[in-house]
Homo-oligomer: A and B are copies of this chain.
């Protein structure tokens, strides 16, 4: 076998995983780096937070995938990226240095708190399974504490959930909280009246699910209403201090906890040793040409949410969606395999969807607009087939079927386990 060029993929999300699957390992020596040892499935993180699914249902260990590869197999490296030294073609992680011939940056996005970074300590987020588990624990603990609280005012304060952001994540988590209020409280928490729980959703624009059709937005508002979620449109949160949320028009209300889904930014990557001045664009994304090649660095590619290029059709860049990441991953793998970068990347929009709750979902699939039960079945089907691994598919199907027939989520357990510091080996 001739000497193979070494491709290092940073991040095993939708984009990185696609490249890992599609790249020709006979031609390239492939290495994938991720801070987690598994590929997570972000569209269902909110279901981990709402106790509907277990982390393992939507997390697929990289090594299990690599173990099935035919020789030559790709290698996995656990680590957080500290620096990319483009001059020496080396990635530095918190655990080692890895040289590369080609580098794919596919690290995705993280939470964006805009001007107020102090929010990081105060709010709950949903950008990783770890964050989802943290939110799950807090929701369960609040219900348990409220059940022991005899003062109605205090109970209501504890149980005020404010969701900031009306995109899919915000709508989905607010809907799941609505189902907790509507179906689960009365059966499992007789100490708490459903009226004690308040769920508010605050969206800055004039409608929910702004990336979808007007019809989908209207349906989502209606469905959230039926789950007793108070939706506020056209306002943004100005501050969250001492349990009080203040909006831009001065409206203030109590908030037990705030779930922040209102913004993302590219995961910051410290790229040194390059000559180009300005490689970071909107939202911290890495600017590429329309072939996902980082400007000024011929053998470095930015794919998925972390990269951006603009063209006539998308003057703001492509939307940060799983579909874009998967298609860009496939495109870059193919270009690398063929050594041919002559055609630009073209995005094919397959539609989008969001679920609000049981029998409640909206889907815009090309011309088709689905809602209600039909939307919900489409949503479940698409997510089931997109999940990696047959065991995960079966386990998710089991949990969903169970929840459907019992009007319940089976997994409401409070785990404190990994609070123990992983002090010996971590870092």
Pick from B130, B257, B413: contact of A38, CB under 8 Å: B413
The answer to whether A415 touches B55 (Cβ under 8 A) is yes
User: Which of A66, A79, A141, A413 is most buried by chain B, counting CB atoms within 10 A of its CB?
Assistant: A413
The answer to whether A408 touches B148 (Cβ under 8 A) is no
The answer to whether A417 touches B148 (Cβ under 8 A) is no
Chain B residue numbers with a CB within 8 Å of A134 are 417-418, 420, 422
A109 CB, nearest partner CB in chain B, Å: 19
A204 CB, nearest partner CB in chain B, Å: 26
Contact indicator per residue, chain A 36-78, by CB within 8 Å of chain B (1) or not (0):
1110000000000000001110010101101100000101111
Any B CB within 8 A of the CB of A416:
yes
Pick from B137, B147, B422: contact of A138, CB under 8 Å: B422
Of all chain B residues, the one with the shortest Cβ separation from A78 is B144
A415 CB, nearest partner CB in chain B, Å: 6
Listed A/B pairs (15) with beta-carbon separation below 8 Å: A37-B413, A38-B414, A54-B55, A61-B412, A61-B413, A73-B190, A78-B145, A95-B145, A130-B415, A130-B417, A134-B418, A137-B422, A138-B424, A145-B425, A391-B402
Number of identical monomers bound together in the oligomeric complex: 2
Give A contacts to B, CB under 8 Å.
36-38, 54-56, 59, 61, 63-64, 66-67, 73, 75-79, 95-96, 129-134, 137-138, 140-142, 144-145, 147-148, 158, 187-191, 257, 389, 391, 394-395, 398-399, 402, 408, 410-422, 424-426
Chain B residue numbers with a CB within 8 Å of A138 are 422, 424-425
Chain B residue numbers with a CB within 8 Å of A132 are 417
Complex: A410 Cα to B392 Cα, angstroms = 9
Of all chain B residues, the one with the shortest Cβ separation from A191 is B75
Of all chain B residues, the one with the shortest Cβ separation from A61 is B412
Chain B residue numbers with a CB within 8 Å of A191 are 75
Q: What 13 additional pairs, Cβ within 8 angstroms, besides A61-B188, A391-B399? A: A54-B54, A54-B56, A76-B147, A77-B147, A78-B145, A78-B414, A79-B148, A129-B417, A130-B415, A130-B419, A134-B418, A389-B410, A395-B398
A133 CB, nearest partner CB in chain B, Å: 3
Pick from B144, B389, B395, B425: contact of A37, CB under 8 Å: B144
Chain B residue numbers with a CB within 8 Å of A394 are 398
Chain B residue numbers with a CB within 8 Å of A402 are 391
The answer to whether B37 touches A412 (Cβ under 8 A) is yes
Chain B residue numbers with a CB within 8 Å of A188 are 61, 63-64, 66-67
Chain B residue numbers with a CB within 8 Å of A54 are 54-56
Chain B residue numbers with a CB within 8 Å of A75 are 190-191
Complex: A188 Cα to B75 Cα, angstroms = 10
Complex: A418 Cα to B95 Cα, angstroms = 23
Chain B residue numbers with a CB within 8 Å of A76 are 147
Chain B residue numbers with a CB within 8 Å of A67 are 187-188, 408
A412-B63 contact, Cβ under 8 Å, with A395-B395, A417-B130, A417-B131 = yes
Chain B residue numbers with a CB within 8 Å of A426 are 141
The answer to whether A413 touches B133 (Cβ under 8 A) is no
The answer to whether B148 touches A96 (Cβ under 8 A) is yes
A196 CB, nearest partner CB in chain B, Å: 15
